[in-house]
Amino acid sequence: MLTAITRAVSSSLASCELSWLPREPIDIAKAIAEHHAYERCLAGLGARVISLPALDTHPDAVFVEDPAMVLDEVAVITTMGVESRRGERETLAAAIAPFRPLIYMRDPAKLEGGDVMRVGRHLFAGLSARTNEAGVAQLAAELARFGYEVHAVELRDCLHLKSACCCIGDGVVLVNRAWVDTSAFDRYRLIDVAPDEPGAANALRVGDTIVMPNAFPATADLLRREGFSVATLDMAELMKAESGVTCSSLLFDA
């Protein structure tokens, strides 16, 4: 069945890593309520939600997409690109271990799950401040035996590849082309975000529904006009921590 691993919001979220946003006060109670609504949304769309306890010493630990990637055959436990997040992976790996064999990435490779977009057997890995060439090469070497092809992608002006583009359907990618070089995946059908909503490409496909923040109404309308079913959530406080909808869960069949 569709399974989602999530982790409760840390009380220290306001001390999170920030790369492109100014630091603003975060209302933790509201962030917790937003995260609960996100978990309810996933459950309402058919997912069994496994919610891990908060790691209060790790402000960004709610963003479980970054320390791990769960594929059909195996899970990859990543080497995070920032020191402050390196302590997140052990308890997350323990939660994934009942479902998949684990591969641990090793230094000097750096890679964060938010930088990896999967389209079928192709994995597109963004060369961001968090993911380096060695990380992409190690991912490719580890996953070749499972039949995955890994392609490096250049990006700019954003945190992760999935800030700039996400796969929202079979061979369909929602994209902000100002932030990513699409030449590695322009064989797919690309749908551009609305011009005034550069952050709208981070969208989570759950079954036949696209989940996205309610901060991007023009892109949500555009997707509905294209025939997608779209569910929107208030993520205002979580987004102050440079969050998106993909980074707060690991979704897989188990």
Give the catalytic positions in this structure.
160, 247
Among 51, 158, 54, which residue's Cα sits nearest to residue 114? 158
Residue 4 burial (CB < 10 Å; 0-12/13-18/19+)?
A: buried
Provide the mask over 52-91, with x wherever binding to ligand GLY is found by CB under 6 A and - wherever it is not: --------x--x--x-------------------------
50's tokens? 């496994």
Beta carbon of residue 119, minimum distance to ligand GLY (angstroms, whole number) = 23
Beta carbon of residue 17, minimum distance to ligand GLY (angstroms, whole number) = 3
Beta carbon of residue 154, minimum distance to ligand GLY (angstroms, whole number) = 20
Among positions 8-27, residues that touch ligand GLY (CB under 6 A) are 16-17, 19
User: Closer to ligand GLY at the Cβ: 39 or 242?
Assistant: 242
Beta carbon of residue 166, minimum distance to ligand GLY (angstroms, whole number) = 16
> Under the criterion CB under 6 A, does residue 237 sit at the interface with ligand GLY?
no
Among 18, 119, 29, which residue's Cα sits nearest to residue 63? 18
Kind and range of the H or E run holding 90: helix 89-96
CA dihedral 91, 109, 70, 45 (to 10 degrees): 90
> Under the criterion CB under 6 A, does residue 241 sit at the interface with ligand GLY?
yes
Query: Binders of ligand GLY: how many residues, by CB under 6 A?
Result: 8
| Torsions phi, psi for 188 (to 5 deg) | -90, 170
Distances 174 to 124, 189, 195, 240 between C-alpha atoms, Å: 14, 9, 13, 22
User: Closer to ligand GLY at the Cβ: 160 or 205?
Assistant: 160
Residue nearest to ligand GLY (CB): 17
Binding site for ligand GLY (CB under 6 A): 16-17, 19, 60, 63, 66, 241-242
